[in-house]
């Protein structure tokens, strides 16, 4: 993702998008799990997917994506954080299929990263909520509301 010239370059639009994202997917704002709990970037293990959780295990990885967390399991955490490992795995299993897109959009909406038009087009294609897709494309729903049900 690189700087772009699009609807999400506007701070007010990003704020509306972040509120809508969190309204539909509250886990995006969880301070212990998800994009709010880590610095933006890719997984330290695979380097492909966005980070979701910080780790404290014996390995050199400090932040993992969903897939790597589920693959590594408790080994991503020190022995004293076994409960955290189990909770993180539960969160990971419950994520929607488009979790990676949602994480990146949350970072864009928070102003932590910028996205180019090509990536935003891919993100819109991955979204299942038409209200969120409309906000990403710069077309607010007619009534200004996003369906959070």
pLDDT digits (tens, 9 = 90+) for 78-125: 888 888 888 999 999 999 999 999 999 999 999 999 888 889 999 999
Q: What is the CA radius of gyration of the chain?
A: 16
Geometric angle at alpha carbon 12, from 6 and 16, rounded to 5°:
95
Q: Helix, strand or coil for residue 53?
A: strand
Domain spans of the chain?
Answer: 7-25+97-137, 38-94
More confident residue, 4 or 97: 97
pLDDT at 101: 96
Q: What is the pTM of this model?
A: 0.85
CA–CA separation, 148 vs 66, rounded Å? 24
Confidence class of residue 142 from pLDDT cuts 50, 70 and 90? very low
Mean pLDDT of all residues belonging to the chain: 87
Geometric angle at alpha carbon 72, from 68 and 75, rounded to 5°:
140
Confidence class of residue 141 from pLDDT cuts 50, 70 and 90? low
Query: How confident is the model over 21-63, as pLDDT tens digits?
Result: 999 999 999 998 899 999 999 999 999 999 999 998 788 899 9
Tell me the percentage of the chain whose pLDDT exceeds 70: 89
Residues 6+ apart with CB under 8 A from 144: none
Torsion angle of alpha carbons 92, 44, 15, 88, nearest 10°? 20
């Amino acid at each position: 993702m690189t700087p772009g010239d699009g609807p999400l370059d506007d701070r007010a639009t990003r704020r509306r998008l972040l509120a809508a994202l969190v309204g539909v997917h509250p886990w995006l704002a969880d301070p212990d799990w998800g994009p709010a709990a880590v610095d933006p970037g890719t997984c330290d293990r695979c380097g492909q997917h966005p980070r979701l959780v910080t780790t404290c295990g014996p390995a050199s990885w400090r932040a993992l994506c969903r897939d790597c967390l589920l693959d590594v399991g408790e080994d991503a955490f020190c022995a004293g954080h076994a409960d955290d490992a189990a909770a993180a795995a539960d969160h990971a299993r419950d994520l929607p299929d488009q979790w990676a897109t949602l994480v990146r959009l949350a970072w864009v909406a928070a102003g932590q990263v910028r996205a180019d038009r090509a990536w935003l087009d891919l993100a819109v294609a991955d979204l299942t909520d038409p209200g969120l897709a409309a906000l990403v494309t710069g077309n607010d729903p007619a009534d200004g509301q996003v369906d959070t049900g």
